[in-house]
């Protein structure tokens, strides 16, 4: 199973989630792909993924931004693989400036509030150091306008790294790396 975990204020409607879903459908593997709508509460998001999918060693999580933090936590906890797309390595610190009312990117009518307890929940799941780096594939853009790619690389020592010169936080050129992500997950042939 390939499970896409979206970032803060994002959703299963993100272009990366849709692109992965379309590619999995084209491969005849749509039933092996999921992209759940994650609650704002990190604890509830983790609970949802664990309760719904019960990820294990045969599964791959693809986490984008805040979803990268979730994917790392779940990979450490359940032994699954994780692809990290511009992951938030210290999300509690980074999201502190967003406390209060927010709206979703893909549906501005959908409002929520980021609360101090959500930051506490993030601190509780942050992974200080990964184990078994062979389970991880980091895709980091030097042009990420929100997060520092050097912190991402430092957080995943020994893991497979694809550092993209330029690009942006949303990885607008993700199509160029999609099959590499799927190959890491064992879903298409590749290196």
Beta-bridge partner residues of 139: 85, 162
Give the tens place of pLDDT for each residue, 20-50: 999 999 999 999 999 999 999 999 999 999 9
Query: In the numeric block, which tokens belong to residue 8?
Result: 């803060």
Residue 52: the pLDDT is 97
Three-state helix/strand/coil letters over 61-117? EEEECHHHHHHHHHHHHHCCEEEEECCCCCHHHHHHHHCEEEECCCCCCCEEEECHH
pLDDT in tens, the chain (191 residues): 999 999 999 999 999 999 999 999 999 999 999 999 999 999 999 999 999 999 999 999 999 999 999 999 999 999 999 999 999 999 999 999 999 999 988 888 889 999 999 999 999 999 999 999 999 999 999 999 999 999 999 999 999 999 999 999 999 999 999 999 999 999 998 75
Residue 171: the pLDDT is 96
Distances (CA, A) of 46 to 70, 130, 178, 188: 7, 18, 25, 27
Distances (CA, A) of 122 to 114, 125, 126, 190: 12, 5, 6, 34
Residue 35: the pLDDT is 98
């Amino acid at each position: 199973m390939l499970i896409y975990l979206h970032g803060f204020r994002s959703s299963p409607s993100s272009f990366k989630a849709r692109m992965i879903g379309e590619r999995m459908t084209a491969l005849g593997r749509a039933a092996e792909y999921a992209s759940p709508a994650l609650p704002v509460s990190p604890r509830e998001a983790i609970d949802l993924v664990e309760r719904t999918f019960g990820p294990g060693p045969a599964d791959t999580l693809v986490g984008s931004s805040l979803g990268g933090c979730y994917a790392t936590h779940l990979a450490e906890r359940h032994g699954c693989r994780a692809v990290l797309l511009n992951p938030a390595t210290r999300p509690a610190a980074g999201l502190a400036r967003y406390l209060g009312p927010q709206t979703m990117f893909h549906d501005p009518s959908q409002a929520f509030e980021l609360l101090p307890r959500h930051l506490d929940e993030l601190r509780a799941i942050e992974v200080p150091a990964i184990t078994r780096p062979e389970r991880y594939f980091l895709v980091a853009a030097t042009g990420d306008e929100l997060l520092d790619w050097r912190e991402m690389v430092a957080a995943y020592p020994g893991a497979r790294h694809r550092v993209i010169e330029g690009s942006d936080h949303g990885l607008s050129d993700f199509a160029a790396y999609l099959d590499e992500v799927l190959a890491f997950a064992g879903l298409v042939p590749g290196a």
